Structure 1
Amino acid sequence: MLPHLSQALIRRTRPRNPNFLLSLRPKNPNFLFSLRPFSANSSWLSSPGNPLLRWPQNPTKPPSPPPPKNPPPKTSKHHLALVQKEDLQNHQIKQDFNTLCNLLKDPSLSDNSSLQSALNLTKILPNPHLIETLIHNFDSSPKPSLLTLILWAHSHPTFHPTPLPLFNSIIHLFSKSKQFHSAWSLLIDRLNDPREIPPLVSLDTFAILIRRYARAGNPQSAIRTFEFIENLVSIEKNPSRSDCDSGSNSDPFNVLIDALCKEGHVNSASWYLQLRSESKPDWIPSVQAYNILLNGWFRSRKLRKAERLWEEMRRDHVTPTVVSYGTAIEGYCRMRRVEKAIELLEEMKRVGIELNVIVYNPIIDALAEAGQFKEALGMLERMSVYGLSPTISTYNSLVKGFCKAGDLVGASKILKMMIGRGCLPTATTYNYFFRFFAKFGKIEEGMNLYAKMIESGYEPDRLTYHLLIKMLCECERLDLAVQVVKEMNAKGCDSDLATSTMLVHLLCRMRRLEDACFEFEGMINRGVVPQYLTYKRLLEELRKSGMLEMARKLSCLMDAIPHSTKLPNTFSDRPPELRSSIMRKAEVMSDILKTCRNPRELIKQRGSSGNAVASANRLIEDIQRRAHAT
């Protein structure tokens, strides 16, 4: 029997296909969920006869012109033969793609030698288009078998990754898997290839290595890669932006500094900038390099070092640009120093730098985040005085602040304001509402808003689906959760690790262990490695229920794939004394943060878990000892 659904959640427009059923496991006839619509009758989002706002229709593309009335000319036999030949080639490419995909997904071919043998038996001749399609298909979760596929393709004498995007994709794949030696071997071979004069290697190729070295925690290797680029005269500095390009510009030094700062190696970036300045007295870092490093210090919450760098810019006669001021304003706002950001805003006016929306948005976001809505709306009006039009980011900051404060009426007013000014909301705008509904378990309001998004022509993004599924799973509404998952898949968003994990945990809580195993197996078949915590929980539930054979099969499935065996060190697993100590320190730090404005005072509180509390305890013990001594 289906769980009882309130009439407010059942009643909506009739589905197009009344026979359409949603099921997590088709073989189980008891696990079927009809496509139940949702009502818009009893929610604050759409009160009958008194709606809060008019929902705008998402702009659609203009209709395509009608086809010409004149019949097309008759094609020749030669042209028909070429078309048939092209169709056969496309069909063969599709067959080859499906064959290779099935081999890469086969868990029994996890060993490199067995996969290599299986690839040789296919008799497929690899080509650049086929390999690039496979790389992009598995890029979100690269498999070790993809590396075997690349090496197998390179072993064919007819295969040559001539297009630069394909070569960069291969370098990215090896670097992402930390196979830097293989990446460098391919790159050196490409540079020394006599068939390519000059070698088709761009700055983007080396930028991939620099960024991957930085992400792997190896800043020295990233620096050596940059020095290799400096000594390379044949590199093509391609100004086009790729997936790995940060948009900083085509200067290799800026790419290096940007990669180091983004991955948290700001000290290494600052050290190398200073070393380069000392070794080359006539070289002065560009304002872009300063901006990147300034952003790095602010993102790592090193306020004093960021302010020191700001003074060094003035000392070296590097004039701050609007980007410099915008970076500093955003950094101060991120550290909740809005008053300092407003001072910089006034300084920009004095020095004659034209203000823009980018410098206002962080201030409005910080004020709304702190619940200072009067000041935030006042700053919004100041933008209008200077002739600046708020962007979608400006309105989203206000919507986020109101939703975080639980003021849905205020958030709805901002939504109405932005629509009235011609700024249409996006999925990000609605996600702030969904986040509030998920936090407080407001299923009806959340599903009503979701229904209105679909009806108005707006496409939810993956985060929208995650928030809905999380809300429904926490409220144990399995039928609605499965419906949302099915609709998510129909929109082209595959079930990822988060979605499947939430479903498996919900099925375990509802004692639907057979269906949980089916979903767990589906994760592995899709190439998603389940979390070890999910595996242990499902295995424990199966053993408690006496389903030992299914537990054994589950263990065999997990043993067939490489996975981590670490469980999270949760707070509830710690001893009671340690939990009490952590809570005491959290309370002390919370009181300090409410009143303290001096970063030096905050630094003093860092250290052992009982810093402030232990100091108080030592003071009490000292007083007691002196009292007993007298």
Structure 2
Amino acid sequence: MLLTSISRRLQHSPIQNLFTFLSRSFSSHTFSRRNLNQDQVLEPKCSSPGTNPIQEPLAAINSVDLDENTVLETLFLYTNDWQRAFEFFNWVRSDSGFQHRTDGYNRMIDILGKFFEFDLAWDLIDQMRRNEHSFPNHTTFRVLFKRYASAHLVQEALMAYDKSKEFNLKDEITFSHLIDALCEYKHVVEAEEICLGKTANKEIDIEVYLNTKIYNMILRGWLKMKWWSKCSGFWEEMDERGVEKDLFSYSIYMDIQCKCGKPWKAVRMYKEMKKKGIKLDVVAYNTVIHAIGQSEGVDFAVRIFHEMADFGCQPTVETFNAVIKLLCQNGRLREAHKLFAEMSKRGYTPDVVTYQSVFAYLEKPRQIIKLFDEMIARGVRPRLDTYVMLMRKFERWGFLRPVFVVWEKMEQHGLSPDNHAYNALIDALLQKGLTDMAKKYDEEMMAKGLSARPRVELGTQLDSLKSIST
């Protein structure tokens, strides 16, 4: 289905026949995995002995030059279905002669890591080193660190950092990727110990590249953890250690003040920065607009928005998004719509966040579906969380038909649903008493290796929960 949707969008492309074939073969046959260490690839198990339908259209396909962007796009669409992604990845290499480059390998490693298939990921890295066009780069290890950290496998991330030495990549960039991944996924304690601990560096043999950027990462990590006292303590520690704070440092700390419920302190810091002659960039202004909107009202935020240009700072789409969201939060939808229209006139294209800000405050399904269609028509690609947001919204209102409209659009655009999307659909079905249909999607979800939520209605409640309820 995913590849069929790509084929529709590529109706005038020379590779249309390829995707038509792929959609047939992937939907009609199951696949078996062989050992990648022997450079073997996935091949389909044929439904009838002695035949191999994947060979039939090869004569027509061999003349097609696969485009790397198309391969990357297809892998992106399979983000939430690692087995199909892996099948496609190996198929184009073995049967069409396509040579994956580093970007393609990195995309596949990212998908495998998302489903904890780290052994397969390392098999691919071993393959990468054999070809100069696919040799691992800094992004390869950034992807690995991100997936290890999200799986809370900190030691494995550190081992991967040590192993980067084999590829001449154990340097400042890779180290910053490691710290950034740990902080992004709330392993800030470990990140701080690696950088500033008394014994950690000796134990794991890491050459630390301490600079303002690393300190900013840790500060942002404490922000993500919402450990407000630690945020203020680390801010002071930066001064004690003689760290030269930059604009990013101030922007992060202003964001901290906003999110800990003290936006007036962020505004005070903004005023102090102006007095000191510190020139703010658009990221800092975006934070200030949010802070001043929360503490002093949306009118003051709009004023800052209009004054930015006077200080030589042009807004970005994110700036418009911040103001539109504030207007929507305050029930001023007409002004938000007016600013929304102004974006295009000024040469700014609304992004998915812009639309989601408006979706959140619309109250009629028809309005939402109409704006959603407009969003797609303007070439703005919905994210998975966009679909989930809309399905959840319709579910809360008790509307099932719009839920299916959104689900079908997601499939038409070739996106593979994740566990959040499946759970949203299943909850909407159960709300209407459609247990058999909900069970079908629950089983489909688990077959893909996605985590299904235990539900009494489907008989999947955990035994421990059953005993408690009885």
Q: Normalising by structure 2, what TM-score?
A: 0.70
Asked if the contact 1:357/1:391 (under 8 Å) is kept, the reply is yes
Aligned partner (choices 110, 121, 138) of residue 172 of structure 1: 110
The alignment status of 1:520 with 2:447, answered yes or no, reads no
Q: Which 10-residue stretch deviates more, 92-101 or 173-182?
A: 92-101
Q: Deviations over 1:545-585 (max 9, x none)?
A: xxxxxxxxxxxxxxxxxxx8659989xx989xxxxxxxxxx
Asked if the contact 2:292/2:300 (under 8 Å) is kept, the reply is yes
Asked if the contact 1:368/1:401 (under 8 Å) is kept, the reply is yes
Q: Deviations over 1:265-317 (max 9, x none)?
A: 00100000024897699976122111211211222123333334334434444
Secondary structure of the 1:285 match is: coil
Alignment match, 1:122: 52
Q: Deviations over 1:349-408 (max 9, x none)?
A: 354432122112112213434672243234335434423333332232232223233343
Aligned partner (choices 212, 226, 233) of residue 287 of structure 1: 212
**Aligned letter for 1:436?**
Y
Equivalent-residue separation in structure 1 for 2:424 and 2:195 (angstroms): 46
**Aligned letter for 2:168?**
I
Deviation at 1:321, TM superposition (A): 1.8
The 5-angstrom pairing of residues 316-465 of structure 1 reads 316-369=241-294, 372-412=297-337, 414-415=339-340, 423=348, 425-438=350-363, 442-443=364-365, 445-446=367-368, 449=371, 453=374, 457=378, 459=380, 461-462=382-383, 465=387
Secondary structure of the 1:437 match is: coil
Asked if the contact 2:138/2:169 (under 8 Å) is kept, the reply is yes
The alignment status of 1:269 with 2:201, answered yes or no, reads no
- Classify 1:495/1:265 alpha carbon distance in 2 versus 1 (closer, same or farther; 3 Å): closer
Secondary structure of the 1:336 match is: coil
The 5-angstrom pairing of residues 199-214 of structure 1 reads 200-214=135-149
The 5-angstrom pairing of residues 10-21 of structure 1 reads none
Deviation at 1:257, TM superposition (A): 0.6
Asked if the contact 2:78/2:415 (under 8 Å) is kept, the reply is no
Aligned partner (choices 145, 153, 158) of residue 223 of structure 1: 158
Deviation at 1:324, TM superposition (A): 2.0
Alignment match, 1:95: 21
Asked if the contact 1:437/1:471 (under 8 Å) is kept, the reply is no
| Structure 1: tracts of 5 or more residues without a match | 1-86, 238-248, 541-563, 576-630
Equivalent-residue separation in structure 2 for 1:448 and 1:281 (angstroms): 54
| Structure 2: tracts of 5 or more residues without a match | 1-13, 36-41
Alignment match, 1:255: 177
Equivalent-residue separation in structure 2 for 1:410 and 1:250 (angstroms): 47
Q: Deviations over 1:192-237 (max 9, x none)?
A: x5xx5799232222333222221221212212322333x43x4369
Equivalent-residue separation in structure 2 for 1:449 and 1:354 (angstroms): 38
- Classify 1:342/1:461 alpha carbon distance in 2 versus 1 (closer, same or farther; 3 Å): same
Equivalent-residue separation in structure 2 for 1:272 and 1:489 (angstroms): 44
Aligned partner (choices 80, 83, 101) of residue 141 of structure 1: 80
Deviation at 1:122, TM superposition (A): 3.3
Deviation at 1:264, TM superposition (A): 0.5
**Aligned letter for 2:45?**
A
Equivalent-residue separation in structure 1 for 2:77 and 2:343 (angstroms): 39
Alignment match, 2:39: none
- Classify 1:317/1:477 alpha carbon distance in 2 versus 1 (closer, same or farther; 3 Å): closer
The 5-angstrom pairing of residues 41-190 of structure 1 reads 91=17, 95=21, 98-104=24-30, 118=45, 122=52, 136=75, 139-143=78-82, 163-188=101-126
Equivalent-residue separation in structure 2 for 1:130 and 1:381 (angstroms): 44
The 5-angstrom pairing of residues 18-29 of structure 1 reads none
Q: Normalising by structure 1, what TM-score?
A: 0.55
Deviation at 1:527, TM superposition (A): 5.2
**Aligned letter for 2:80?**
S
Asked if the contact 1:368/1:397 (under 8 Å) is kept, the reply is no
Equivalent-residue separation in structure 2 for 1:144 and 1:198 (angstroms): 25
The structure with the greater share of residues assigned to helix is 2
**Aligned letter for 1:212?**
R
The alignment status of 1:313 with 2:235, answered yes or no, reads no
Secondary structure of the 2:196 match is: helix
RMSD between superposed Cα atoms in Å: 5.1
Secondary structure of the 1:390 match is: coil
Equivalent-residue separation in structure 1 for 2:292 and 2:465 (angstroms): 35
> How many residues of Structure 1 are paired with residues of Structure 2 in the alignment?
435
- Classify 1:142/1:353 alpha carbon distance in 2 versus 1 (closer, same or farther; 3 Å): same
Deviation at 1:101, TM superposition (A): 5.0
Asked if the contact 1:210/1:225 (under 8 Å) is kept, the reply is yes
Secondary structure of the 2:361 match is: helix
Percent sequence identity is 21
- Classify 1:103/1:319 alpha carbon distance in 2 versus 1 (closer, same or farther; 3 Å): same
**Aligned letter for 1:205?**
T
- Classify 1:98/1:134 alpha carbon distance in 2 versus 1 (closer, same or farther; 3 Å): farther
Larger Rg: 1
Asked if the contact 1:501/1:530 (under 8 Å) is kept, the reply is no
